[in-house]
Amino acid sequence: MAAGVVCAGFDGTHLGADLEKFLRDVPLAGLTLFGRNIESLPQLRTLSDSLRAALSSPIIAIDQEGGRVARIRDGVEEIPSALAIAAACTSEQSDEPAQRAGAQVAFDLRRAGVNIDFAPVLDLALARMNTVIGTRSFGDDPQRVAKLAGAFAAALERGGVVATFKHFPGHGSTAVDSHVDLPVIDVDEATLRARDLIPFAELLPGAQAVMTAHIVARAFDLDRPATLSPRILTKVLREELHFSGVCFTDCLQMDAIAKRVGSERAAVEALAAGADCVLMSHDIDLTARTVETIARAVEENKLSRARLEEAHARVLKLRGTLQAPLPLDARPPFPGIGEYIGLHAVTLIRGEAHAGDSAAVVSFESPTLEGAQGAHERHAALSEFAKVKEIRLSLEPRGEDIDAALARLGNDRPVVLMRRAHIYPQQKSAIERILAAHPDALLVSTREPFDAFDFPQARTVLCTYGDDAPSIAGLAAVLFGGKAARGTFPLTGAPVARG
């Protein structure tokens, strides 16, 4: 029974003999897939088929949110970020892009043999320095986040994939990434209930799955992370919000938990607090020890047998609803929806969106380590979609590199692709130098859009909410192809032009 409340991650792109034997000896609830497990869609389907052969009705889960958190990249429709989806929903009444994105993601996951998506995010985009959530959020308005995330999730589930709302009770107001440390939210309970909890309160009563946040919300529990807090996972989640589905923990190997509590001990504490399925994403040996630790905790009365049985029963019930895969060559429901969102999300903050014939791109880019994503080094280039000179600078360029870029620009009009200029001071300084030399420079915020408002001297500013291929292709169509920038700025309180 202890194994049946644990999901594991593993290395490799196929089911080797050792892993197959482990799964037959230790019948886990299921497996979580990551980029390290994926070479191609057909290979992934072969892998998921072999996992189903080794385990009975296993959970096969993945993080496929869109934008920068998407484990499957090739052979599927590339979907821009949740914030881009929100920007593409250009009226308060319309959630159609969110619905279509969810349906297309479900289709692609079913072809891969995946049955649970750890998405969508219900966290609010509240903190300027928050990059762990950032563009993964549908915005900062709790009601609109609930509407759009709910539309995405409902379409996922109509398509046969279980949606998992995350990260309860809300990770949006933290500046610390829980992959590397333990964030603390130190606001009063009334604020949390009127803000962070609203999307969860609206969507969880009928939901099949939720995922916890490794954050301390002091208004609810002074010391314990939500993942380990009986008050948060039992009293608030179960009793107050009437959630009756499966509560997954976020990965217990994340440093917010592993370095402070320890993954094995945390698995027991999370189950005791009210979680139903614990995630161990990176180490099969640790997973095996965790299963033994859970079983021993029951024997030693550190975890009640009734609580373990309750968790196991919920997981089994969910596993009984999981849908079979679709054929690899099945017909997609909404082909091109990623490109549609990428184009319709492009938002003009002010100015004239068309770059003209003598433009040159200055792109700030370097590999970064993103907690939920891992290494982020895939940037779509504007030069892939338009015939334009491209000058690349690092996220924190040196003075001599800026000098060289300005010399290369000559009399060309700069199109500046910003990446978190509000976080990188040398990038901000470089942009100010470009604007001083070229007042007509066109600025594009390509990640979290907070830097779009840091340059009041800029005449033209746009946002894309991602640097994935659909978003940059949409930007190219606006700058060089005569398309209008029709996106609606998805955060509250910012003036937006239309062009």
Q: Is the peptide bond before 325 cis (omega within 30 degrees of 0)?
A: no
Closest CA to 439 of 416, 418, 465: 416
How many of the other CB atoms lie within 10 Å of CB of 283? 16
Closest CA to 467 of 447, 484, 439: 447
Task: Exactly one of 167, 171, 179, 312 is catalytic; name it.
Answer: 179
Residue 418's DSSP bridge partners are 445
Task: Exactly one of 250, 276, 467, 468 is catalytic; name it.
Answer: 250
Q: Is 77 exposed, middle or buried (0-12, 13-18, 19+ CB in 10 A)?
A: buried
Helices 284-299 and 17-25: crossing angle in degrees, nearest 10, is 10
For tokens 């970064």, what's the residue? 368
What single-letter DSSP state applies at residue 106? H
298 touches 3 (CB < 8 A): no
Closest CA to 66 of 468, 485, 370, 414: 468
Task: Give the type of residue at 334.
Answer: F
Rounded-to-integer distance, Cα 259 and Cα 408, Å: 48
> Where would I find the H helices in 55-188?
82-88, 96-112, 142-158
Secondary structure element (H or E) that encloses residue 445, with its range: strand 442-445
Q: Is 140 a catalytic residue?
A: no
HSE toward the beta carbon, residue 75, CA cutoff 13 A: 18
Tokens of 227: 């993942």
For tokens 């300084």, what's the residue? 429
102 touches 110 (CB < 8 A): no
How many of the other CB atoms lie within 10 Å of CB of 368? 16
How many of the other CB atoms lie within 10 Å of CB of 429? 15
Q: Which residues contact 51 (CB under 8 A, 6 or more apart)?
A: 15, 23, 31, 58, 60, 113
Looking only at Cα atoms, what is the longest distance across the chain? 76
How many of the other CB atoms lie within 10 Å of CB of 493? 6
Q: Is 179 a catalytic residue?
A: yes
Start-to-end Cα distance in the chain: 59
Q: Is the peptide bond before 282 cis (omega within 30 degrees of 0)?
A: no
HSE toward the beta carbon, residue 87, CA cutoff 13 A: 35
Task: Give the type of residue at 255.
Answer: D
Positions annotated as catalytic residues are 179, 250
